[in-house]
Amino acid sequence: MFTHMKNQLLFFLFICLFIKGYSQKILPDKILVEHINSGLNKMYNFEFDAAEQYFNKIEKKYPNHPAYFILMSMNLYWEMFYHDNYKEKSSQFIELLNKASAANALLKQKDKTNLETVFFEMIIEAYIALYYAERDETANCVKHVKRAYQMLKIAMKHKDEITDFYFPIGLYNYYVVQYPETKPFYKPFMIFFIPGNKLQGLKDLDYDHLHGVFTRTEAAYYLSNIYLKYENDHLAAQPYVEKLNKNFPKNSFFTVRLIEVMLNKAQYVQCYKYIQELKNTEKPFFTAVAHAFEGIIYEKHHKNYKAAIEYYNQSIADHTKTRNPEKDYLSFAYAGLGRCYHALGDFSKAEQCYKICRSFAEYTSVIQECDRYLKKNR
């Protein structure tokens, strides 16, 4: 599990995390570019072995190229995230990243002005920072986040040369403003960073979603996350969510977002099919999310508060079994308990649940709900 401090440090990691940009300037072989796209599509659809077969074609054509090692590390990261086995696979993960870094250094020696190396270094440094964050090695994490940030500043000057640069720049423009809004404690530290603009960030991400070469899927995923989590606008999230699920029906993270949109539209009955898909994974994180969603259905659709409480408590229990750092759906469970206990007249328990929820909630709607209740019941 991430500690509270690691979550703060990873804010800057998220600026660059999951970058998938390999423009035609970097790998001019059109057939190979198609292989990369096919591999990424398999990866997003959780067909990890099939993705690896496509990525292996890069190594055969371009031996010791950083793109191969980066793609393999990305594929492994999604696989670890899905299977919840980061601890078991982390040594393999960092080995791939170290090989990518060494290969990129050789490219940099040949041409220090090559934007290709900037692109790769952003990705490598971001993932290495993530590795050290997982291991509670804060100093090493910060060191690599700073390096990624330096590459980002260079990318900002060249976003019109490589379309996929719009993705990390859009993330930065949005999150450098949003993060201190969610975590006000960090607002004073923002003076050390280039100012951002949330609206411009959303425009950059949408531009990349429409025109990006390899980052359009990530752009769509982050846009759906931003609109649901921070903007509280499920209608704006809907087209991105539906597109992701249509293209990658096996990706459980995309399924989670689809269910969120449906719940916000009160499409409770239609949700059950997708909730069952989450349960069928038999992964603790997804079963935890599924139980939280079932709690919402029993609370808001069936008005069966006691049954809803059982589902919310099961979700909380399931969250203790996963190493996934995501706590958003845990906040859903605690907020749901607060509402149910209030409806049943147990105001003391309701307040207690809202206080727990408020201590870690990051969803704008959940934070606002907690604040309204706790302020009203002071």
170, two tokens: 């859009």
274 half-sphere exposure, CB direction, 13 A CA radius: 24
Per residue in 281-327, pLDDT (tens digit) is: 999 999 999 999 999 999 999 999 999 999 999 999 999 999 887 89
- How far the first Cα of the chain sits from its last, in Å, is 33
Please give the single-letter amino acid code of residue 11: F
Task: Note the pTM of the prediction, 2 decimals.
Answer: 0.86
Q: Residue 299, class by beta-carbon neighbours within 10 Å (0-12 exposed, 13-18 middle, 19+ buried)? A: buried
Output the pLDDT for position 8. 39
Output the pLDDT for position 296. 98
219, two tokens: 């752009």
> Which of 258, 257, 320 minimizes the C-alpha distance to 284?
320
pLDDT > 90 in the chain, percent: 54
The residue behind tokens 């570019």 is: 33
**Contact indicator for 373, 338 with CB cutoff of 8 Å:** yes
Per residue in 121-164, pLDDT (tens digit) is: 887 887 787 778 767 687 887 788 788 888 888 878 877 776 77
115, two tokens: 């934007």
